[in-house]
Amino acid sequence: MPIRCLIKRLKRHATLVHVKDYRALASFVQENVLGKKPSKYQLCTALNCCAKTQNSSLGSQIHAKIVHIGFDQNLYINSSLINAHVKCGSMGDAMKVFRGIELHDEVSWTSMICGLSQNRQGGKALCLFKEMLATVVRPNCVTYVSVISACTEQESVYRCGELLHAHVIILGHESNNFVVSSLIDYYSKCGRMDKTVVLFGSCISDYVVLNTMISAYNHNQQGEEALKLFRKMLDENVNLSEHTLTSILDACGALTVLQQGKQVHALVTKLGSDYNTFVVGALMDMYSKCGNIDEACHVFDLASYKNNILWTSLITTYAQSGRGVDALKIFDHLLMEKRFYPDHVCFTIVLTACNHSGLIDKGISYFKKMITDYNLAPEIDQYACLIDLYARKGDLKSAKKLMEEMPFYANAVMWSSLLSSCKEYGNVELGTEAAYKLFELEPHSPAPYLVLADIYAAAGLWNRVQSIRKLMDENGIRKSLAGWSRVEVDRMR
DNA sequence: GTAGGGTTAG
């Protein structure tokens, strides 16, 4: 089969690459591309396939061939090579190729920026973008899509999406739906639904923009709005993708609307989307949030292909049904069998399960194992879990030390953990520091004021309680529960 | 004649 036909077939199965195609591709490339001197075009096409099928060993063989033939300054080939390495997660190799390019164009820059962004290295992506701005090569809308999505990664100084939005407006990229989707996603993850709604209202939406909007509502606890939009999509016969189904199941779970969740399940079966692990994971999540753990497990059992995502979903199912100990048993069992490679998401679930089950020391040892046994650099979410573990144990010193020494800026979740534990263990000094940090980070939230007042009251510091009340009045903070978001109430525990 | 980078989901 000619290589172009193979690509067409692979594109048709964007999510699930057929094993048959994959084997055919690998042997085709080995025989016809690596055997004799391939053309530049063939090499690009072959690398494109390596990227799509995440065939890292073939990618490396082609890389060697490129160097051997001497095509290593061709920008088309280098961009494809960067992309292939990136899609296989070989960031070091991608960066070597990138740095070896003598004269860059916007595609080679964008390939690397995008690669960093897709591999959870948003900070580095932004640095590279700044480096690009200092050259004569100008970013285009594809570059902006990559760099904006890099900003959504974590709450920190990297969050300069608004500045990038301004660039986009000036350069006239605002009508590009890829750009619009990345901006909607960015603003929704910053809690800026006002901006999100304006962007959505002023674009000619396609199915990806609609999917992004549904997940924006989900991120901001507006499941009803997500369902409304989904119904509109059904009425207007908009193409439903696996992303749509995953997000809408998420909304059903958050709202615990089992009947509607079941209807979506029927739709999943009808559309034949039950091969997709994200959809299956979302179904399990929906059932377990609706309290139907048996059905969640049943969905898992029926899944023909069980990968890391689905195993993580199973652990999540038990963890969020209050069966943290069982969740950890499954996790330990999978680790022993060595057919499971836990990732960051999985460790977050496991650490949270430890926390909720009161298994503090076990959680701390998992965190260490994550680094030593699985070679994973902890991200902000796992640090937040560890800080919470120390804080709940009453080891406030270690929690604080970690917040100072970790490679991220401490966020509101961490300061809230610390503040709650200060209340629990009666630490006035640290509690004051944590609360004042939260006043800055979340200026409209009444929670830290009230917790700090509780800490002062428990310590008999009535003057200070009075001063907090005064401060609330001065800053216009309302005390009633009605105005609080669900997140704030949850954090108060 | 043929070739490169992009948004949304655990």
pLDDT, one tens digit for every residue, chain A (493 residues)? 555 555 555 555 444 444 455 666 666 676 666 677 889 998 999 999 899 889 999 999 999 999 999 999 999 999 999 999 999 999 999 999 999 999 999 999 999 999 999 999 999 999 999 999 999 999 999 999 999 999 998 665 566 899 999 999 999 999 999 999 999 999 999 889 999 999 999 999 999 999 999 999 999 999 999 999 999 999 999 999 999 999 999 999 999 999 999 999 999 999 999 999 999 999 999 999 999 999 999 999 999 888 999 999 999 999 988 999 999 999 999 999 877 889 999 999 999 999 988 898 999 999 999 999 998 989 889 999 999 999 999 999 999 999 999 988 888 889 999 999 999 999 999 999 999 999 988 878 888 999 999 999 999 999 999 999 998 988 888 765 444 444 444 444 3
Residue with tokens 């100990």: A325
Which three-class secondary structure state does DSSP give residue A37? coil
Residue A167 CB burial class (10 angstroms; 0-12, 13-18, ≥19): middle
Which residue has the least CA–C1' distance to nucleotide B1? A41
Domain boundaries, chain A: 1-103, 205-305, 410-493
Residues 6+ apart with CB under 8 A from A67: none
What phi, psi does A12 have (nearest 5°)? Answer: -65, -30
**How far does the CA of A210 sit from the C1' of B2, in Å?**
36
Residue with tokens 């992309």: A83
Q: What is the Cα–Cα distance from A313 to A327, expressed in whole angstroms?
A: 10
**How far does the CA of A340 sit from the C1' of B3, in Å?**
37
* Dihedral angle, C-alpha A193, A199, A200, A202, nearest 10 °: 140
A53 neighbors A20 (Cβ within 8 angstroms)? no
Q: What is the Cα–Cα distance from A102 to A185, expressed in whole angstroms?
A: 35
**How far does the CA of A213 sit from the C1' of B2, in Å?**
39
Which two structure tokens, joined as six digits, stand for A185? 């996603």
Strand B bases within 7 angstroms of protein beta carbons: 2-10
Nearest nucleotide to A309, CA against C1' atoms: B10
Nearest nucleotide to A282, CA against C1' atoms: B10
Q: What is the Cα–Cα distance from A178 to A149, expressed in whole angstroms?
A: 10
**How far does the CA of A470 sit from the C1' of B5, in Å?**
55
Q: Could you count the other beta carbons within 10 Å of the beta carbon of residue A279?
A: 25
Q: What is the Cα–Cα distance from A284 to A492, expressed in whole angstroms?
A: 28
pLDDT for the residue A6: 57
pLDDT for the residue A415: 93
Q: How far is CA A493 from CA A415, A423, A490, in A?
A: 14, 11, 5
Nearest nucleotide to A79, CA against C1' atoms: B4
Q: Which fold has domain A205-305?
A: 1.25.40
Q: What is the Cα–Cα distance from A399 to A322, expressed in whole angstroms?
A: 25
Which residue has the least CA–C1' distance to nucleotide B5? A111
**How far does the CA of A307 sit from the C1' of B2, in Å?**
37
CA A403: distance to chain centroid? 22
Question: Positive or negative CA dihedral for A279, A283, A288, A290?
Answer: positive
Which two structure tokens, joined as six digits, stand for A139? 């970013």
H helix runs in A70-192, sequence order: 75-87, 91-100, 106-118, 122-133, 141-151, 161-171, 177-189
**How far does the CA of A149 sit from the C1' of B6, in Å?**
10
A250 neighbors A217 (Cβ within 8 angstroms)? no
Which two structure tokens, joined as six digits, stand for A280? 């299956």
pLDDT for the residue A158: 61
A448 neighbors A420 (Cβ within 8 angstroms)? no
Residue with tokens 């009230």: A450
Nearest nucleotide to A349, CA against C1' atoms: B10
